[in-house]
């Protein structure tokens, strides 16, 4: 999905938000909704990265606390032509990762302890290259804004039942039936747009991650492993904050892996199939990454975090 289409979808979500505001409160409600939309997006722009990192108890690491993992991200960022992002480790046994931040200069990437334990070097590198592609494409900002607007539409639609009935009695408004339809259809439409944007950005990040790491099959292998373990190892922080599920490389919530209407991510099987096509295409050998390999040592986690089980980096 190109930038123009994403812009149209974002404009459509904003228009939907204003329309619900009008149906709930008339012209005054639309103006209030417009002001709320600006305020919420401004907050999301400046603070969403900090909020998400706090939700997951992410701990910052550097070349002293996690030298191998930090060095790997630094090499990938250099190869991608990006500033060095802040690097975090999440204290979760579920293998997963996400990126956040309003732009490449204020970006952060985070990986779970489970990911560093269960994946090998090439797979970890491919996953982080995927996340850096989200940063490079500014997907983190786009997906945060869509989540913010979608949530606001849902909250506003909850008022439609009460406000709509009142307007019907006094000013010939949309009425009870119209209010019920707004309450149901507005959040549904917003959610579908949000998911369409999120799912399309995952395909783009897979392709960009494969290009940065020059190892599409490592990313395919990582996705397969993460998908397998994500449905066996719960992520309690994600369950408490389901609106952030679309930020992860694989949906951290329990569910199916099909490309259904309400999936936050594309089918993992479809993503792997696309990566295999990339690996089979013309170009340099895809059997090994072209960056300098890191020693097989675990990314050391700050002492405040519980010890993790040994993995392939140990």
Q: Please give the Cα distance from 302 to 124 (Å, whole number).
A: 19
Tell me if 186 sits within 8 A of 16, measured CB to CB: yes
Instruction: Give 64's DSSP letter.
Output: T
Strands (E) across the chain are located at: 59-61, 86-90, 97-101, 107-112
**Does residue 82 come out as left (phi exceeding 0), alpha (psi in the -120 to 50 range) or beta?**
beta
Q: pLDDT truncated to tens, each residue of the chain (314 aa)?
A: 456 655 666 677 677 777 777 777 778 777 887 887 788 778 877 887 898 899 999 999 999 999 999 999 999 999 999 999 999 999 999 999 999 998 999 999 999 999 999 999 999 999 999 999 999 998 888 777 776 676 667 666 666 555 554 444 444 455 566 556 666 666 666 566 666 666 678 999 999 999 999 999 999 999 999 999 988 899 999 888 877 888 899 989 865 444 454 567 888 999 999 999 999 876 544 443 333 333 333 344 344 444 444 444 44
Taking the domains of the chain in order of start, what are their residue ranges? 3-280
Catalytic residues: 131
Tell me if 93 sits within 8 A of 127, measured CB to CB: no
Q: Please give the Cα distance from 251 to 226 (Å, whole number).
A: 9
Sheet hosting strand 107-112, strand order edge to edge: 59-61, 86-90, 107-112, 97-101
Q: Which two tokens stand for residue 220?
A: 């395919």
Q: Closest Cα partner for 42 from 187, 144, 190?
A: 144
**Residue 311 CB neighbour total at 10 angstroms:** 19
Q: What is the CA radius of gyration of the chain?
A: 21
């Amino acid at each position: 999905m190109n930038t123009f289409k994403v812009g149209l979808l974002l404009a459509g979500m904003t228009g939907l938000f204003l329309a619900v505001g009008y149906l709930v409160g008339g012209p005054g409600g639309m103006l209030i909704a417009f002001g709320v939309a600006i305020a919420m997006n401004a907050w999301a722009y400046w603070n969403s990265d900090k909020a998400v990192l706090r939700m997951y108890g992410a701990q910052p690491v550097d070349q002293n606390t996690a030298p191998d993992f930090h060095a790997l991200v630094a090499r990938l960022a250099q190869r991608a032509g990006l500033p060095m992002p802040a690097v975090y480790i999440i204290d979760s046994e579920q293998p997963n990762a996400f990126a956040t931040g309003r732009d490449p200069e204020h970006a952060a990437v985070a990986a779970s302890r489970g990911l560093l334990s269960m994946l090998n070097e090439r797979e970890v590198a491919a996953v982080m290259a995927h996340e850096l592609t989200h940063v490079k494409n500014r997907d983190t900002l786009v997906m945060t804004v869509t989540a913010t607007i979608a949530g606001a539409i849902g909250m506003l639609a909850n008022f439609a039942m009460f406000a709509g009935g009142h307007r019907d009695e006094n000013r010939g408004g949309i009425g009870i039936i119209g209010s019920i339809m707004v309450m149901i259809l507005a959040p549904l439409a917003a959610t579908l747009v949000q998911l369409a944007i999120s799912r399309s950005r995952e395909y783009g990040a897979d392709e960009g991650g494969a290009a940065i790491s020059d190892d599409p099959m490592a990313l395919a292998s990582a996705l397969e492993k993460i998908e397998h373990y994500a449905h066996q190892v719960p992520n309690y922080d994600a369950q408490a904050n389901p609106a952030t599920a679309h930020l992860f490389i694989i949906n951290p919530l329990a569910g199916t892996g099909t490309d259904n209407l309400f999936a936050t991510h594309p089918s993992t099987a479809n993503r792997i199939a696309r990566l295999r096509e990339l690996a089979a295409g013309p170009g340099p050998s895809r059997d090994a990454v072209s960056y300098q390999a890191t020693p097989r040592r675990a990314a050391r986690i700050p002492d405040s975090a519980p010890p993790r089980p040994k993995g392939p980096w140990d």
